[in-house]
Chains A and B, each alone.
Chain A
Amino acid sequence: MSHVVQIKTQVRDAAAVRAGCSRLGLDAPVEGEVKLFSETVNGLAVRLKDWRYPVVFDLTTGESKFDNYQGRWGRQGRLDEFLQAYAVEKTKIEARRKGYSVAEHRLADGSIKVSLTVGGAS
């Protein structure tokens, strides 16, 4: 049988964050205390392109903290792009861990499809 599940991405894996940064040509993420405009937060900080402050991920809760001043200090699209890269890299990491073969395709609407063949060699 077959089924379809919709998932809201949560960022919880440092290795996939690193892979996502590498995929987009961003600097490697930095763990620790980060000052945003009005608060100081802890987590894994990613510097998105053209963003004034980093996005900080709490890997325990999967939540992110950032201050882009409603888009004036950084476009939401850059964060969306990172979340897409993260989800793709996380899928590939998990698939390889299981020994499944992986193929990746970009679709016309900008989505990225990762196909896992169960039982195939990686």
Chain B
Amino acid sequence: MKTIDVVVSPVGATRVETNGFTGDQCRQASAFLEQALGLAQNERLKADFYKTEVRDQQQARQSS
């Protein structure tokens, strides 16, 4: 399941976290929120970013 979690702190700062996307979809999926909410300050890639990328590449090689 693809989800986007937005956690708004008691002082109004926001953290946007994507889950379950493949490839570069997560950035595309959350861009509308990041633009709507304000100024993006930093981005951190989660561990499964790398795992998913490797698996996608292997699948691409097998299917080609």
Give the B-binding residues of A (Cβ under 8 A). 1-10, 12-13, 62, 80-84, 86-88, 90-91, 94-95, 98, 100, 107, 109-119
Contact = CB atoms under 8 A, between A and B. Distances in A.
Contacts of B39: 7-8, 10, 62
Q: Main secondary structure on chain B at its contact with chain A?
A: mixed
A87 B52 contact: no
B10 A81 contact: yes
Given A2-B21, A113-B5, 17 more contacts: A1-B52, A1-B53, A2-B17, A3-B26, A5-B41, A7-B34, A8-B41, A10-B37, A88-B8, A91-B14, A91-B36, A91-B37, A107-B7, A114-B5, A115-B3, A116-B6, A117-B2
B23 A1 contact: yes
B35 to A, nearest CB: 9
Given A114-B6, A116-B6, A118-B2, A2 B37 contact: no
Closest 6 pairs between A and B when the two form their complex, measured CB to CB: A83-B12, A10-B38, A110-B10, A1-B49, A118-B2, A2-B46
Contact of A4 (B13, B17, B24): B17
Q: Main secondary structure on chain A at its contact with chain B?
A: mixed
Contact of A90 (B1, B24, B29, B36): B36
A3 B36 contact: no
Interface residues of B, number: 48
A7 B43 contact: no
A112 to B, nearest CB: 5
A6 B15 contact: yes
Contacts of B13: 6-9
